[in-house]
Structure formats: structure tokens, C-alpha cells
Chains A and B, each alone.
Chain A
Amino acid sequence: GAGVSQSPSNKVTEKGKDVELRCDPISGHTALYWYRQSLGQGLEFLIYFQGNSAPDKSGLPSDRFSAERTGGSVSTLTIQRTQQEDSAVYLCASSLEGAGANVLTFGAGSRLTVL
């Protein structure tokens, strides 16, 4: 697609429910990133996929968080047993690696509210 697409744009859920957030990167971009941003805060790195390499999961805050990237394209971030502190905007970005400098293109984000 022309840009990075994220869905849903807004999600309200009850504490304890599972949620899935989807990211469709720019076609041909081999790198995909997930960040989250709590209100008034900076971006917190979550996970990074690059081609066929093992993902860098070092930013995932707990084992309730997981992500996968199928076929090197679409990625799903799953949060199990959501907590109120999971409320944030979840941002996905993709980039064309190997170009000397990985310029990221971001999606518009998925705003998650856990009640």
C-alpha cells in the first residue's frame, strides 16, 4: 500500500480481555517496528522485525505481550489479559533496510483504552 496501515484506529476493552492490533507495512519494506506511547510520554520501543532474522523482543514489557509477522508482511501485536496500564497509542513503522539509513514510515497508530 501507499503507507503503513494500522487497525483498529481505536479500541476500548475491558480489563482482562485480549486484544489484537494489526499493522500492514509498506510493500517491500523488510523492517517493521512496534512502539507504544502513553499520554504525554515519549515512544517506548516494543519489538522489531527484520527480514527473516529472529525479532528483537527486548522492549516487550511483559509476557502478556507478543507479536508475529506472517510472510514478512503484516504484523499482529497481541496483548493478553489487558491491564489499565496498557492503555496507550500503539505505533507501527516500517523501513527499507539496507539503504544505508533506515528512514521509518509510521502508521497513524491504534489507540487502546483499557477500562
Chain B
Amino acid sequence: SQQGEEDPQALSIQEGENATMNCSYKTSINNLQWYRQNSGRGLVHLILIRSNEREKHSGRLRVTLDTSKKSSSLLITASRAADTASYFCAPPANQAGTALIFGKGTTLSVSS
């Protein structure tokens, strides 16, 4: 199954700054998801972007998708301490009926 690779592995910023995380994948996709995880608990779905969309917004989140480069980015604007978490991208499995595989994620620390 396909796995996304997030970059950077860790990111530390100050409150109010923007945070950008990147994701690369290997094979063609029809959608890509981003998830967030707080402190080793369950992941929470943030946003799904389809292959015919280049950009999608949800509150302070902005996700872009460049299918020609097989990459996606997650931008969090005006970050808050509560945004401190790990963020994972998940391209769909490259075979029907197989599981989503997650990478190691980007650990974001926002200090006040």
C-alpha cells in the first residue's frame, strides 16, 4: 500500500506564526487526507482534498495538492499553542480494499 512521507519531521514555531508541512507520495491518487494526533491518542481527520482540487480551506487550515509533483502541503495560519500535535498525510491505498498506511508524521510545537 502507498505511504505518505511528511517533511519536516519536527517543526517549532512561535504562536501567531504560520506552519507549513509537506507530504510526498509515489503513485497517482484520486484524493489525499490529512490527520492530526494529540499526545499519542487517536488520530482526527482534518481535511480531504480531491485530485481535481488544487487548494482547499478549512478555518485556519489550507491544503494544497500538486498531482504533477505528487506532493501536498498543509498550512496552519496564525498558529496557537493548541495546534501542538503530530500531523499525518494519508494518500489512499493504491489497491482497492487495502488499508491506509501512515508515515511518521510531522511533530509541530507551538510555543506561547
Interface residues of B, CB < 8 Å — how many?
Answer: 25
Which residues of A have CB within 8 Å of B98? 48, 56
Q: Chain A contact residues (Cβ within 8 angstroms of B): what range?
A: 20 to 34
Interface residue? B103 (CB, 8 A): yes
- Are A106 and B43 in contact, with the CB atoms below 8 A? yes
Tell me the complex Cα distance, A42–B86, Å.
Answer: 9
Distance (whole angstroms) from the CB of B46 to the closest CB of chain A: 10
Interface residue? B59 (CB, 8 A): no
- Are A41 and B97 in contact, with the CB atoms below 8 A? no
B interface residues (Cβ-Cβ under 8 A, vs A): 1, 30-31, 33, 35, 40-45, 48, 50, 88, 90, 92, 97-105
A interface residues (Cβ-Cβ under 8 A, vs B): 4, 33, 35, 37, 39, 41-43, 45, 48, 50, 53, 56, 59, 89, 91, 93, 100-109, 111
